[in-house]
Structure 1
Amino acid sequence: MAWVYLIFGGIMEVGWALGLKYSNGFTNIKVVIPTVILIILSFYAFSKSLKLLPVSTAYAVFTGLGSFGTALVGMIFLGDTVTFIKIGLVMMLISCIIGLKLVSREPNREDAV
C-alpha cells in the first residue's frame, strides 16, 4: 500500500508543478487554490508512504515520478522541445525509478499505513 501512496503523491506532484507554472507567482487565485490542494495531497500521500518505505528510496521515487511526469506533459502538451537525448534521459529516469522499486524491500507491516 505504501507504493500506491507514493505513486499517487508523485502524480499529484505533476499537477502542482504545472499549477505553479500557471499561477503567475501565486497571483491567479483560480489556479492557486487547486495547486495548494494538490500540494497538500501530494505531501500527505508521500508522508503516508514513509511509514513503510525508507526515506531515501521514497524521496527519490517521489521526485523522480514528478520529474518524469512533468517532463512528459511538457513535451506532449505544452510545446517543450523534444529531442532524442531528452527522450533517452527521461526513459533512463523512469528506468531508475522502476529499478528502485525492484530492489526495495517493503516490511510486512501493512497495518502501519
Structure 2
Amino acid sequence: MAWGTLFIAALFEIGWAIGLKYAHGFTRLWPSVLTITAMVISMACLASAVRTIPVGTGYAVWTGIGAVGTAILGIILFSDPVTFWRVVCLLMIVGGVAGLKFSAS
C-alpha cells in the first residue's frame, strides 16, 4: 500500500512540476490552483508513504520518478532536447529508483 501511495505522490509531483510551466510564475489563476493542489496532494501522499518506507528511500524514489516523468513530458510537451547522454542519464535514474525499490526492507 505504501509503495502505491508513493507512486501516486510521484505522479502528482510530475503534475506540479509541469504545472509550474503553465502557471507562469503563479500569474495564471487556474494553472496556479491546479499546481498548488498537486503539490499538496503529492506531499501528503509522500508523508503517508514514508510512515512505512524508509524516508531516504521514499524521497529518492519520489524525486527519481518525478524527475524522469517530468523530463519525458518536457520532451513531449515542450520540445525539450533529446540527446544520447540525456537519455543515458534518465535510464540511470530509472535504474537507481528500481534498485532502491527492490533493496528496501
Q: CA RMSD in A?
A: 0.7
Higher helix share: 2
TM-score (norm 2): 0.96
Q: How many residues align?
A: 105
What is residue 29 of structure 1 aligned with on the other side? 29
- Shift of residue 24 of structure 1? 1.2
Deviations 1:7-30 (A, max 9, x none): 110011010001111111111002
What is residue 54 of structure 1 aligned with on the other side? 54
What is residue 101 of structure 1 aligned with on the other side? 101
Please list every run of at least 4 consecutive aligned residues from structure 1 whose deviation after the TM superposition is greater than 2 angstroms.
Answer: none
**After superposition, where does 1:1-113 map in structure 2 within 5 Å?**
1-105=1-105
Task: Kindly name which structure, 1 or 2, has the bigger radius of gyration based on alpha carbons.
Answer: 1
**Structure 2 runs not aligned, ≥5 long:** none
Aligned partners of 2:34, 2:77: CA distance in 1, in Å?
A: 20
1:73 is aligned with what amino acid? Answer: L
Taking every aligned residue pair, what percent have the same amino acid on both sides? 37
